[in-house]
Structure 1
Amino acid sequence: MEKHEYEWVKQTRQILLDQCKHLNENELTKEFGFGFLSIRDSLVHVAGCYHAWLGSFVLSKTASPLLTKEAINNMQIDDIQQYFQQADIYVDSVFEQFNDKFDEIIEKELSWKEGSGPIRKTPHQLLIHSITHEFHHKGQIVAMLRLLGYTPKNTDILGLHEKEFAKQ
C-alpha cells in the first residue's frame, strides 16, 4: 500500500462524514439491530480501530486508545471528524516511521486488553486490517442511512471522479 492510496480511503470517508453532518441527533444515535448499533457508534468504532492498532500497537502513542461509552455518548459529528483526523496522523506516522520496515513483525501485548498475550503483526497487516475494517462498517452505515430514508452517496473508491484520482 502506498501513502497516496490512503488518500482515496480518506476521500471516500469524507463523503460519508459530509452526509452524516446532515443527520439530526436522533438519526445519528438511532440504534439498529446490526453493526455497532448506531451510525455514531459505528463511526467511532471505525476510527478507534486505527487508534488501537496503529496509534497504540504500532506507534506506542497511547496506552489506552479506546474511548469510554460516556465519551462516545457525548460525541457529535465534528468530534468524530477530529477523531478520524488523529487516526490519519497515526497512518501518516506509520508510513513515515515504518517505510523501510513495513513488513517486519512487531510482537507485544495489547495495551487495551489485559492478558491478551503476545500478538505478532506487521504495520502493513494492521494498516490493511484498519482499512478493510473501515469499509466493512462503512457498508453497514450506508445501510443504516437507507433505513433512515436517505439515498447514500457513493463511498466506493471506484466511485471517485477521475479528477479526484488526478489529484494524486
Structure 2
Amino acid sequence: MEYAEYKWVRQNREILLEQCSNLNENEISKEFDFGFQNIKKSLVHIAGCYHAWLGSFVLEKTERPLFTNEEITTLDINDIKQYFLEADQYVEEILDRERNELDNRIHKTAIWKQDNQFIEKTIRQLLFHSITHEYHHKGQIVTMLRMLGYTPNNTDVLRLSI
C-alpha cells in the first residue's frame, strides 16, 4: 500500500462522514438488525479496528484502543472524525516504514481481547485487514442510510480524481 492508495480510502471516508454529519442523533443512532446496529457504532467500530490492530498491536501507542458501548453513546460526529484522524496517523506511521518491514511477523496477545491467545500476523496483513474491514462496514452504513430514506453519496474509488 502506498500513500496514494490510502489517500483514496481517506477521500471515500470523508464523503461518507460528511453525509453522516447531516444526520440528527436519532438517525445516526437508529437501531437496525444487522452489522453494528447503527451508523454511529459502525463508524466507531471501523476506526476502532485501526486503533486496535495498528495503534495498539503494531505500534504499541495505546493500551485502550476501543470505546465501550456506553462511551460510544456520548460521542458526536466530530469525536468520531477525530478518532479517524488518529487512526490515519497510525496508518501514516506504518506507511513510513521500509517496505520489507511490513512483512515482519508480530507474535503476541492483543490487549483488548479477553482470550489472551497469541496472535501472529504481519504488519501488512493487519493494514490490509483494517482497510478491507472499513469497506465492508461502509457498505453496511450505506445500506442503513438507504433504510433511513437517504440516497448515499457515491464513494466508489473510480469516481475520485487521481
Is the Cα–Cα contact under 8 Å of residues 103 and 122 in structure 1 kept in the other structure? yes
Shift of 1:159: 2.4
Identity %: 59
* SS at structure 2 position matched to 1:19: helix
Kindly state the Cα deviation for residue 77 of structure 1 after the two structures are TM-superposed: 0.6
Unaligned runs of 5+ in 2: none
Give the conservation status (yes or no) of the 8 Å contact 1:98–1:123: no
The CA distance in 2 between the partners of 1:49 and 1:98, in whole Å, is: 23
Partner of 1:2: 2
TM-score of the superposed pair, with normalisation by structure 1: 0.93
Deviations 1:55-100 (A, max 9, x none): 0000011112111112100011111000000000000111124544
> Aligned equivalents of 1:74 and 1:64: distance in 2?
17
2:80 matched to 1:91? Answer: no
SS class of match (2:79) = helix
Q: CA deviation at 1:20?
A: 0.5
**CA-to-aligned-CA distance 1:114-153 (integer Å, 9 cap, x gap):** 3332111111100100000000000000000000000001
Letter in 2 for 1:56: S
Residue 15 of structure 1 corresponds to which residue in structure 2? 15
How many residues matched? 162
Partner residue, 1:41: 41
Looking at structure 1, the residues matched to 98 and 90 of structure 2 have their Cα atoms a distance apart, in angstroms, of 12
CA deviation after TM superposition for structure 1 residue 17, in Å: 0.3
Cα RMSD of the aligned pairs, angstroms, is 1.0
Runs of 4+ in structure 1 over 4 Å off = none
Q: Is the aligned partner of 1:107 residue 2:107?
A: yes
Equivalent position SS for 1:102: helix
Residue 129 of structure 2 corresponds to which residue in structure 1?
Answer: 129
Structure 1: gaps spanning 5 or more residues? none
